[in-house]
Amino acid sequence: MKEDILKNAAELFLNLGFKSVTMDDIAQQMAISKKTIYAHFSTKTKLVKATVDYLIKEIDLGTTKLSSRNLNPIVETYEMKKYAMDMLKNEKSSPQFQLKKYYPEVYYPLREKQFEIVQRNVIKNLERGITSGHYKGDIPISFISRIYFVGMLGIKDKNLFPQEEYSNAKLMDYFLKYHLSSICTEKGLNTLDELLNSNKPANEN
């Protein structure tokens, strides 16, 4: 039951926002009593924290599995993006912004865990890309992995990138192209161009 609550809470929180979803909403979606939820999570804050922990664990497992496939490093970067956005429902409710504003005690430990996961995956991707000849051999790996993390957080700021002008998908595509273009060799740029062209909508060709 506890995991079912977390799965349903995650779906509602990501679709509607951490602030607006109530314990009643979760109970109604699951067709259970609110008392049942409180038997596992005594406060909404505890449920939010447990849900975030559940999501970050799932993302960690998923990205680790993706990394183990040893894909072309550029393809892997886009697959990681796609997986994370699918998991987070395209972040349409701005979950990280809501966590930072309404549940800072949950947000800041989450950011540390995110940093750990991103660092591990990006550093491995950069090292593989250098070995395969897709990335420049003299890039400062630690610096780039940290700049990547800062950039990922920065593009989620809706004051800087208003939703009506920049969709989450567009932001991620812009960011990844910017990131990869700065570190790719000619071989890597050719792969990037092929990947972008193969994913371009028909009406843009």
Q: What is the pLDDT of residues 33-79, one digit of tens each?
A: 999 999 999 999 999 999 999 999 999 999 999 999 999 999 999 99
User: Mind giving me the DSSP string for the chain?
Assistant: -HHHHHHHHHHHHHHH-TTT--HHHHHHHHTS-HHHHHHH-SSHHHHHHHHHHHHHHHHHHHHHHHHTT---HHHHHHHHHHHHHHHTGGGTT-HHHHHHHH-HHHHHHHHHHHHHHHHHHHHHHHHHHHHHTSB-TT--HHHHHHHHHHHHHHTT-TTTS-TTT--HHHHHHHHHHHHHHHHB-HHHHHHHHHHHHHTS-GGG-
- Mean pLDDT over 163-182 rounds to 92
Domains of the chain: 52-200 (1.10.357.10)
pLDDT band for position 204 (50/70/90)? Answer: very low
pLDDT at site 89: 78
- Mean pLDDT over 136-163 rounds to 93
* pLDDT (tens digit per residue) in 33-46: 999 999 999 999 99
- pLDDT for residue 172 is more than 70: yes
pTM: 0.87
pLDDT at site 200: 62
What does the mean pLDDT of the chain come to? Answer: 91
pLDDT at site 94: 78
